[in-house]
A and B are shown apart, each in its own frame.
Chain A
Amino acid sequence: MSLEMKHVFYTYQEGSPTESHALQDICLNINEGEFLGIVGHTGSGKSTLIQHLNGLLKPTKGEVLIDGININQKEAKAKRKEVRLKVGLVFQYPEYQLFEETVEQDIGFGPRNLGLSDTEVQERVKEAMALLKLDYKTLRKQSPFDLSGGQKRKVAIAGVLAMKPKYLVLDEPTAGLDPRGREEFLEQLAVLHRQGMTIIMVSHSMDDMAKYAQRMIVMDHGQIQLQGTPQDIFSQPEQLQQIGLDVPSLSRLLLRLKQRGLDVRTDLFDIEAVKTEILRAMAAREGKLTC
């Protein structure tokens, strides 16, 4: 089972003078259980791409398949709604979309619209809140607007989780959070991933990608320019820099050390691994007494 994009093109305002090609021939297969990271500049097509994953945007050309079903095909119309529910999409600054009077009502909005019974809705709300370590008892009656920024965001995301998606797509979920909030949030995302949820995350933070993603795609000008494990990607710093993206700071350090003649591996970014590698390379250099 997977999310699949086959030769997807997307053009904004086709045929008008302001026509722009946001996606060009995207082929992508996202397997169940993966943690996929998507990086790229603003305007590289990342957000356009993820909006195709649950049918919010229809490809100008090409196909999008959710668990084998082409969601934009007329014949699949009956199944479309059900299939789209498998993919939960969390937009940037999702807390701007909170609107209900209480936390419980806000998170329960989606499930209620599915026509579930009150007890079922309540169950779903409880479960979703538990997944993000939000305390049901103390928060349920509170107005979402009285919460801190980090909590508001979690409530908004809980609203998506309450729909029990198989695939969770997040567009820069940590933007604007403080370091503590960011760390906590990413750790919880990692827990969801370990419990079997497929995570697709758009982020500008290469350090976060290095730490959490199993596979990455790098987008530029509406195309996938690079893909592979974080190791693969970050050992090609020239290409990243050409696109105008950064590499994690420790990768940058290793590259500079190598340029200066210290014989280190450059495909590491975990701090302990980098430390060990530098110490090893220095010991080897001492042995040879050259730099």
Chain B
Amino acid sequence: MIRIHHVTHMFKKESTKHEVKALDDVSLDILEGEHIAVLGHNGCGKSTLAKHLNALLLPTAGTVEVDAVDTANEADLWTIRQMVGMVFQNPDNQLVATTVEEDVAFGPENMGMEPAQIRQRVDEALALVGMSAFKDKGPHLLSGGQKQRVAIAGIIAMRPKYIVFDEPTAMLDPTGRREVMETMQRLNREEGITVINITHFMEEAVLADRVVVMERGRIVLSGTPKEVFTKVDLLKQMQLDVPPVAELAALLHKEQKQIAADIMTIEEMVTELCP
């Protein structure tokens, strides 16, 4: 479990020298095996929160514990980073080697693993993201979605328990986005890896077990996708996207009370209207 306990994070803005409160007394427990989506506008603190999960940032106040290990404990830094992997937005910034398999091997090599074991881990990781056929290719020849899957494989080769995805699909086209989301869901469901997905896309958030909405450094809403996305008026107030079907359900419900208001997906709506 990752336990975020009353975390506040302050940083100084370079240009103005003002102190900014990026996180304001945030508490959140992330359970093993969970798939959590964190939504919110740019500047709401979601990426700052993500970077606390593997000690890229440390709290100004409060604590973050990964499997009961405090991230502020410098001696445990590498244990924590091995347990919590991170995938970032820009696929081009995450690949370092000249071939796909070398790139995936980078982490295990740095851990000082035996070559035979590295081989095994790389093969497994590439198979899990469906990129085995590309192992000898140069990363620059891949599409955005494929690059992101290689970046994910690089993380998986480290056998993390938790993977934090920081807007992994923001720079991808619809095909790439689908590839990455399918990979993310498979890792969660089949491999039991805990997934924390920081995103702007509510189509992605709908797939999570739990959705957390942040604004101005605070968690303002949390619940199952259904609980969160049926609060249409509140989400609109925050200028967040609402799934069109959820919005339509709210409108239909206003006119005809027998139509349920808590509908989120096309299939649910079809069942509701044509039982």
Contact = CB atoms under 8 A, between A and B. Distances in A.
Interface of A: 41-42, 142-143, 146, 148-150, 175-181, 183, 204, 207, 244-246, 248-250, 252-253, 256-257, 260-262, 271-272, 274-275, 278-279, 282, 291
Contact of B247 (A180, A183, A271): A271
B127 interface: no
6 contacts: A176-B171, A179-B241, A180-B239, A183-B239, A256-B267, A291-B274
Contact of A146 (B14, B175, B273, B275): B14
B41 interface: yes
Contacts of B174: 204, 245-246
Nearest to A205: B174
A271 B175 contact: no
Interface string B167-198: 00011011110000000000000000000000
Contacts of A177: 42
A42 B266 CA distance: 26
Interface residues of B, number: 34
Nearest to B247: A271
B274 A279 contact: no
Nearest to B200: A178
Contacts of A249: 243-245, 266
A235 to B, nearest CB: 17
Interface stretch (B25-33, B52-60, B117-125, B250-258): B250-258
A253 B266 contact: yes
Contacts, number: 88
Given A142-B15, A178-B41, A257-B273, A275 B173 contact: no
Given A175-B170, A257-B273, A279 B248 contact: no
Contacts of B143: 42
Given A252-B266, A256-B267, A271-B251, 18 more contacts: A142-B15, A146-B14, A146-B15, A175-B170, A176-B89, A177-B42, A178-B200, A183-B239, A204-B174, A244-B175, A249-B245, A250-B248, A253-B245, A260-B274, A261-B274, A262-B273, A278-B248, A279-B255
Contacts of B270: 253, 256-257, 260
Interface string B39-81: 0011100000000000000000000000000000000000000
A275 B266 contact: no
| Among A252, A260, A262, A275, residue most surrounded by chain B Cβ atoms (within 10 Å) | A275
A103 to B, nearest CB: 12
B215 to A, nearest CB: 11
Contacts of A257: 269-270, 273-274
A278 B245 contact: no
A186 B142 CA distance: 31
B148 to A, nearest CB: 13
Given A143-B15, A253-B266, A275 B248 contact: yes
B173 A42 contact: yes
| Among A178, A248, A252, residue most surrounded by chain B Cβ atoms (within 10 Å) | A178
Given A257-B270, A261-B274, A282-B273, A148 B42 contact: yes
A98 to B, nearest CB: 15
A282 B269 CA distance: 13
B121 to A, nearest CB: 31
A247 to B, nearest CB: 11
Contact of B251 (A42, A146, A275): A275
B138 to A, nearest CB: 14
B1 interface: no
A275 B245 contact: no
Contact of B43 (A148, A176, A245): A148
Contacts of B42: 148-150, 177-178, 181
A182 to B, nearest CB: 9
Nearest to B270: A256
A176 B239 CA distance: 16
A44 B222 CA distance: 40
B41 A180 contact: yes
Contacts of A179: 41, 200, 239-241
Contacts of A244: 175
| Among A175, A180, A183, residue most surrounded by chain B Cβ atoms (within 10 Å) | A180
Nearest to A172: B173
